[in-house]
Every structure is written in structure tokens, then in C-alpha cells.
Amino acid sequence: MKPILYILLSVALGVIGQVLFKLGVQKGAPSDISLGTVRLLFTPLIMLGILCYVVSTLSWLTVLSQVKLSYAYPFLSLSYVLLLGIASIFFGETIPLLRLIGVAFIGLGIFFVGHE
């Protein structure tokens, strides 16, 4: 598989992991999270999120074995772009204009890095 596909897989799994973490803490968080952290770690959504991160890390290690770090690492910023959209669409979060502009610059930077 091409390195860019491993990069995209790693980013996608990281984003999915974050969404699962958010859903997990919304669904199963005790009122005082510090007292229930261990219990929270073993809820299905959090465990699935951790699994996504493990597989993402394995994919990322494959990336690092094939391309320069200075090329690959900026692509992780794609998660900011994706999570902004997900937060707005699925969690109903309001995204301020300056944040949208900032993420647009991140997207532009990823474009430039990808076309070296």
C-alpha cells in the first residue's frame, strides 16, 4: 500500500478515536470524572476509541518506515480539519469564524506539503 494511504488511515482512525472518546464521556462519564476514570476507561466506546488509536499508531509506524518525517507529520494536521466538521455537524458545536479561517490555513498548508 502507498504511504499516503497509511497516512490517511492513521489520521482517519485518530479522528474516529476522538469521536468515540467524546461519545464515551458524554454517555458514561460520572459526575466527577477523576473518581471514575478507571471505570470510564473500560466502557465500550472508550475501549473502541483506544483500539482505533492502537491501529492508528501501527499504521503511523509503517508510514515512518517509508517516508521522511518532515513530509508525513504535517498530514496529521488533517485531523483538525476533519474534527472541526464533525464537531459542527454531529455534535452541534458552533465554530467561530476565526477558527474556520485558521483551519482553512491548516488545510492550505497540508496541500502545499503534499505537493513537494
So what's the pLDDT on residue 29? 62
Which residues, at least 6 apart from 83, have a Cβ–Cβ distance to it below 8 Å? 15, 18, 19
In which residue ranges of the chain is pLDDT below 50?
A: none
Instruction: Return phi, psi of residue 67, to 5°.
Output: -135, 170
Domain boundaries defined on the chain: 3-114
So what's the pLDDT on residue 14? 97
Proportion of the chain above pLDDT 90, given as a percent: 72
The three state secondary structure string of 56-84 is HHHHHHHHHCCCCHHHHHHHHHHHHHHHH
Burial, 97: exposed, middle or buried (Cβ in 10 Å; 0-12, 13-18, 19+)?
Answer: exposed
So what's the pLDDT on residue 6? 97
76 grid coordinates: 496529521
